[in-house]
A and B are shown apart, each in its own frame.
Chain A
């Protein structure tokens, strides 16, 4: 198929960017979206023009590196699909495709379609873990975790940290990402010890990084390639409220 592409080009974080148009021919419908960009880049190299920089690594939907907004949708038109899993059979000959990076204040553009998502790492560093020193745990089967609890924790843990939720949110909120990790760990018995501390630390890190608030648009859930649901945001809100209250009274004592 032949395509008209409109791609965001930006030299670096300090230089303003803009769209550039490209014509691309003979793309196989079995190719993935990123393979289509590979073809574009080979064409650009041939013409002596700098290829389009974009983030990608595993190309099987799990590393969370790829991050493109396609025709206004984070990760493109298919549900529960990362850009790298999107295939060109979702498009037809003659289509126009606009490609741009995630846009959110805490994710500055590094170059072209690449953004800096280290803000997510800072949220995890603040509290997205269970303190478990190497070498000291008891036998794994001594902690009984009923299947429904383990399944629910796994639903949250499926997050790949791609940032589509932030890119899709009109507020640039990271509530879905943050709540997925805090809920996974707060649901499990191993995580109960640090439950309050964890949720408060992660929420304040989220605020410090400049992410916006949640006003229940639900756009995040709609674009999440791993189908993380809004109930984790509700859980985080509940965990946060009880943590604050408990914290207030424990100080009073």
Chain B
């Protein structure tokens, strides 16, 4: 597998400029319309890429599984988007954002990509403001900022607690404009079920129309996947119900490398699980940690009384509260990065000091902020989040502290890409959460929106054009969907669906999904170890076999069938989960969100092993009955030195 990252020459700060000006080839405006680009996914990365490429003149087809491109899951991001604007005069710079992101990612991301991300972050804000995104403002009319975890400057731009929604709708509006102009053909309620390679290049996809079940072939000159993350492998996560790994996993099976699948982010501030009927977990924005203080009772006895409802949280005296983040990490306090905050919550609960009926919860308390600033200011800042919490739990957070617990939220791993966001399959580009490149082993808050838009607006439009130019104008539109590669891929998709429909066992796809989720959470969740991962690698194939023997998919193939949709996604998760566990087992160190219990310092911090594991773990599919093969992309740092992350 060729893992040449194609990082341009020159000093870090000049690489992207130089690359754009010297290396990337251009396509003449009159020729662009002859090329057909497929974009799968309509979130921040996909929507922005489709709109920008269409605006440049390419013919674009965009696909999403939802009923409208406006519903992609980027919409659910709450807190904000980072940009190194230094509008607050607190000493921010591109370098600082770059450094914070590398450090936040625990030195497991690629330096050049991260620098570029920080470099274009300012343009993103300019672009989104021009599109009419109503960011929060000061009274004088300038943009407002707030702070987020893992940084000591205020560089986060926000639109109430709905920043993701507003940015996504901005991108959706640009996409809609291009649809209206006929430059983008939009296919809603279509799910990509396979990638088609012609002579080793990505030249099309196979989709299922989710309304009438029709299997269709789409030929193109290049394919861009912006299909999000794989957090739903855990069944319970903060992802939308439909989020899935299928498109990325199908690309993996066609030869694309899957990088760092074990890197998953467990977000510290989610609403605790209520019981067995739960279908998803809800995030409470990290921005709440600007004013909320996190604590657990100091003693098990007190925690026990809270759990039984004998005392109220407010009854616990100040001295009996353990503000553990402030205690352990005084310089970052409640704004310690996500992986660290999550583990600290787990530690308190493992110690028997957890609250909520299950014992799996800690407090996020606004009492002091309300006393200091007044209820109105808090309502202005977080009103919609407080309302959301109230609706879900029935508790009023203005009066009683919120209860929170970590939950699966984001996946840093993804398809391997080079500096151009091109995978090892020529012509297959991957953007947003679906790729692996920028967040290393842990993503900082307010950086996912930044990365999605950076990829979609400021990277892919240049690098996709470069690929097309390298292919030459004679190749434009030369691939027809009559090619035998499409025949083969379509037949494969049809056979798989027929097989799912024919089993007619006794257990629903949802039930299998739930069982897989338990295995993943127990053995590949917040803490992992050798024995547990080995056990999961045994259990998952058994569950998979059971699935293919006993799944029951009701309904017809040729019509809208949500059971069939879920069955296909769960089938891929059942293979993908095993890959994650293999990666977690291979990575015999702790780093960022990947915490191996064997590797921790005496005070419970993650212990990296830079001598042996400073690489990207990239897996190659070898065949259905064979173990995947590991390849390594060594991570070399020119600018930053490895240090132990400290937020103390």
Contacts and interface: CB of A to CB of B under 8 A. Distances in A.
Nearest to A57: B240
A121 B68 contact: yes
B571 to A, nearest CB: 17
Interface string A180-191: 000011001011
A184 B166 CA distance: 11
B165 A62 contact: yes
B169 interface: yes
B560 A114 contact: yes
B136 A61 contact: no
A51 interface: yes
B143 A140 contact: yes
Among B48, B52, B71, B242: residue with most chain A CB under 10 A: B71
Interface in B448-493: 457-458, 461
Contact of B68 (A58, A118, A154): A118
A154 B159 contact: yes
Interface string A69-105: 0000000001011000111010000000000000000
B251 to A, nearest CB: 23
A57 B142 contact: no
A58 to B, nearest CB: 4
Nearest to A117: B67
Interface of A: 11-12, 27-28, 30-32, 34-35, 38-39, 41-42, 44-46, 48-51, 53, 55-65, 78, 80-81, 85-87, 89, 110-111, 114, 116-118, 120-121, 124-126, 128-141, 143-147, 150-151, 153-154, 157-158, 160-161, 184-185, 188, 190-191
Among A41, A48, A147, A151: residue with most chain B CB under 10 A: A147
Q: How big is the B interface, by class?
A: 35 or more
B132 A184 contact: yes
A180 to B, nearest CB: 11
Given A38-B510, A61-B388, A154 B160 contact: yes
Contacts of A160: 165
B275 A28 contact: yes
Contact of B70 (A27, A55, A130, A161): A161
Contacts of B76: 58, 60, 62-63
B173 A59 contact: no
A150 B136 contact: yes
A130 B173 contact: yes
Among B160, B238, B279, B560: residue with most chain A CB under 10 A: B279
Interface string B562-577: 1100000000000000
Task: Give the 8 A-B residue pairs with the shortest CB-CB distance, closest first.
Answer: A144-B141, A137-B130, A125-B180, A129-B173, A132-B130, A30-B274, A150-B137, A154-B134
Given A58-B75, A59-B282, A147-B141, 4 more contacts: A53-B560, A62-B75, A63-B73, A125-B176
B199 interface: no
Contact of A132 (B131, B394, B562): B131
A124 B68 CA distance: 11
B392 A87 contact: yes
Contact of A27 (B177, B277, B387, B560): B277
Contacts of B133: 157
A28 B274 contact: yes
Nearest to B144: A147
Contacts of A158: 160, 162, 165
B73 to A, nearest CB: 6
B127 interface: yes
Interface of B: 48, 51-52, 55, 66-71, 73, 75-76, 85, 87, 123, 125-143, 159-160, 162, 164-166, 169, 172-174, 176-177, 179-180, 186, 188, 211, 238, 240-242, 274-275, 277-280, 282-283, 387-388, 391-392, 394, 457-458, 461, 508, 510-511, 552, 554-555, 559-560, 562-563
Contact of B563 (A51, A55, A117): A51
A57 B127 contact: no
29 contacts: A30-B274, A48-B554, A57-B71, A58-B76, A58-B240, A58-B241, A59-B279, A61-B388, A62-B76, A65-B67, A85-B388, A89-B394, A117-B67, A117-B68, A118-B68, A124-B176, A129-B174, A129-B176, A132-B131, A133-B55, A134-B174, A135-B458, A141-B143, A144-B142, A145-B134, A151-B134, A154-B166, A161-B70, A190-B129
Contact of A134 (B85, B125, B461): B461
Contacts of B71: 57-58, 63-65
Contacts of A132: 127, 130-132, 174
Given A63-B66, A110-B560, A129-B173, A85 B392 contact: yes
A48 B55 CA distance: 49
B73 A57 contact: yes
A188 B75 contact: no
A140 B126 contact: yes
Contacts of A161: 68, 70
Contacts of B75: 58, 62-63
A191 B133 CA distance: 11
Given A28-B274, A130-B131, A147-B139, A51 B176 contact: no
A145 B137 contact: yes
Given A59-B241, A128-B176, A137-B126, A145 B141 contact: yes
B126 A139 contact: yes
A81 B211 CA distance: 28
Contact of B134 (A11, A45, A188): A188
Nearest to B186: A121
Contacts of A38: 277, 279, 510
A147 B85 contact: no
B209 to A, nearest CB: 12
Contact of A42 (B55, B85, B238, B510): B510
Given A31-B278, A57-B71, A64-B71, A134 B66 contact: no
A154 B161 CA distance: 11
Nearest to B282: A60
B176 A35 contact: no
Contacts of A125: 176-177, 179-180
A50 B67 contact: no
Contacts of B279: 32, 34-35, 38, 59
B139 A39 contact: no
A45 B552 CA distance: 8
Given A57-B240, A111-B560, A141-B142, A191 B132 contact: yes
B425 to A, nearest CB: 26
B130 A130 contact: yes
A124 B136 CA distance: 24
A138 B391 CA distance: 41
Among B143, B177, B179, B392: residue with most chain A CB under 10 A: B177
Among A63, A116, A150, A153: residue with most chain B CB under 10 A: A63
B143 A50 contact: no
B392 A188 contact: no
Contacts of B73: 57-58, 63
Given A60-B282, A125-B177, A190-B132, A35 B277 contact: yes
A12 B180 CA distance: 28
A128 to B, nearest CB: 6
Contacts of A147: 137-139, 141
A232 to B, nearest CB: 14
A50 to B, nearest CB: 5
A118 B76 CA distance: 21
Given A130-B130, A140-B143, A157-B134, A59 B274 contact: no
B66 A65 contact: yes
Contact of B127 (A121, A131, A134): A134
Nearest to A27: B277
Contacts of A141: 85, 87, 142-143
A135 B143 CA distance: 20
B311 to A, nearest CB: 22
Contact of A31 (B188, B211, B277): B277
